Structure 1
């Protein structure tokens, strides 16, 4: 059995099929971890969603910001709707089944045997792994509850930018959402800088990539994440970034997790959009 983590697909169905062929993926034996952002911007988000859902127990998916955007649109939150390419999902006869499946995906996956953790964007430096798991479960409980439409109506926003255990209600859930699905740069005290989206070195003074903040509490944990297309594939100090910008004309990356050593396998992508930062 081989386990692979796959970076952001964003509706690039043909590329996903080519990658699975390259891996000689066998759902009866192999396992796939998807780093989130299955949908949006690429041409065939509906086909990607159907393909990954049909994989059943052979696939683990953590939610990304574009997946949450789909859930927000589905409950009537119109923000950013003009920039989305999700209409085919919302019109599909099986939309309710697909959306119900999607909102029951985790925000973080940890495998103690492999000593690896998968998350879409990252973990703020002031959380250790145990706290990140607890905060992810809070958000998962909300998404899986009958109250999730109310949360999805209020999910967007960059505040609060810094974690406090005293946060409550929507502010607490919004920070958790932004931390796990949108973080790239932050200050040394963990304050999120969500407007900063470029390459390392492009950030404003006093900001760090979240995984380079001195004293980061997960520095001894092995973390795999996507989300940061301008970073591309990156491997350093127990972190592996695997969003290599497929939808922008980069590559679609699979990272072989088991057996060791971790090894990237990539296929080139033609690109459906001009290079962007989100």
Structure 2
């Protein structure tokens, strides 16, 4: 039995299938975890969701920002863009069960039996792992409830940028979801900054990768986080962190890491260009 985590697929099913062949993935025994953004801007949203959903208990994915955008569009509160390539999904005969399955994905998941956890973007510097799980459960409960349409209607925006315990209502949920699914950079005081998406080495003065905010110690989380979301970060390893978005959608690579060996083992698959950044 093997546990694999795979970076952002973005509806690029053909590279995913080739990667699984290279891994010799056994759907009867192995487990897959995805870093989110299963769909969005890629060519096969319907087929990708069907394929991963039909793996059943052997596959799990956290939600990414593009997954949430697709759900908001489907609920009539998100503005669809041609580059999203969501038309086939929105017009599919089985759109409702596919979207319901997607909407029930978690925001943060521990890989059972290992020291690893998976989240799309990261965990903000104000939270430890226990609080991150609490906040993920809080937002997930609303996403899976009758309040979900109202949440999607209040999903978009970069404020509040700073976590406070006394945040309430939609601003509180917006911060939680932004942190888990959109965060890249923070200010020294932990405020989220959504204006930059380049590599950390090119960040303007005063911005820090969320995992390197002054005083941040990922090792204190007690588990290694595995994230996607940040294609210009690519595949990197830091103390307590593995990043896996290697730009499959942009003609880069699709990356998997196997977790059940003494050290994580990476597999990279070159991908044809599916879209333009």
| TM-score bracket for this pair, using the shorter chain length | over 0.9
In structure 2, what is the Cα distance between the partners aligned to 1:148 and 1:113? 32
Instruction: Flag the 1:112–1:55 CA change in 2: closer, same or farther, 3 A.
Output: closer
Equivalent position of 2:267 in the other structure? 265
RMSD (Å), alpha carbons: 1.1
C-alpha contact (below 8 Å) 1:35/1:119 kept by paired residues: yes
Moved more, 2-11 or 108-117: 108-117
1:16-55 deviation per Cα after TM superposition (whole angstroms, max 9, x unaligned): 0000100111111100000000001111111110000000
1:101-140 deviation per Cα after TM superposition (whole angstroms, max 9, x unaligned): 1111100001363111100000101100001000000110
1:56 matched to 2:47: no
Equivalent position of 1:142 in the other structure? 142
Structure 2 unpaired stretches of 5+:
none
C-alpha contact (below 8 Å) 1:73/1:81 kept by paired residues: no
C-alpha contact (below 8 Å) 1:126/1:189 kept by paired residues: no
Instruction: Flag the 1:31–1:40 CA change in 2: closer, same or farther, 3 A.
Output: same
Equivalent position of 2:71 in the other structure? 71
Q: Secondary structure at the match of 2:267?
A: strand
Q: Secondary structure at the match of 2:266?
A: strand
In structure 2, what is the Cα distance between the partners aligned to 1:236 and 1:105? 27
1:170-228 deviation per Cα after TM superposition (whole angstroms, max 9, x unaligned): 00000001000011110121101111100112212111101111322543331000000
1:16 matched to 2:26: no
Residue of structure 2 aligned with 1:237, choices 229, 236, 239: 239
1:210 matched to 2:206: no
In structure 2, what is the Cα distance between the partners aligned to 1:121 and 1:148? 21
C-alpha contact (below 8 Å) 1:127/1:218 kept by paired residues: no
C-alpha contact (below 8 Å) 2:218/2:240 kept by paired residues: no
In structure 1, what is the Cα distance between the partners aligned to 2:268 and 2:90? 31
Equivalent position of 2:37 in the other structure? 37
1:144-184 deviation per Cα after TM superposition (whole angstroms, max 9, x unaligned): 00110111011010000110011000000000010000111
Equivalent position of 2:108 in the other structure? 108
In structure 1, what is the Cα distance between the partners aligned to 2:63 and 2:252? 22
Instruction: Flag the 1:243–1:163 CA change in 2: closer, same or farther, 3 A.
Output: same
In the alignment of these two chains, the number of paired residues is 275
1:217-241 deviation per Cα after TM superposition (whole angstroms, max 9, x unaligned): 5433310000000111111112000
TM-score, normalization by structure 1: 0.96
Q: Secondary structure at the match of 1:227?
A: coil
Structure 1 unpaired stretches of 5+:
none
Equivalent position of 1:28 in the other structure? 28
In structure 2, what is the Cα distance between the partners aligned to 1:78 and 1:154? 10
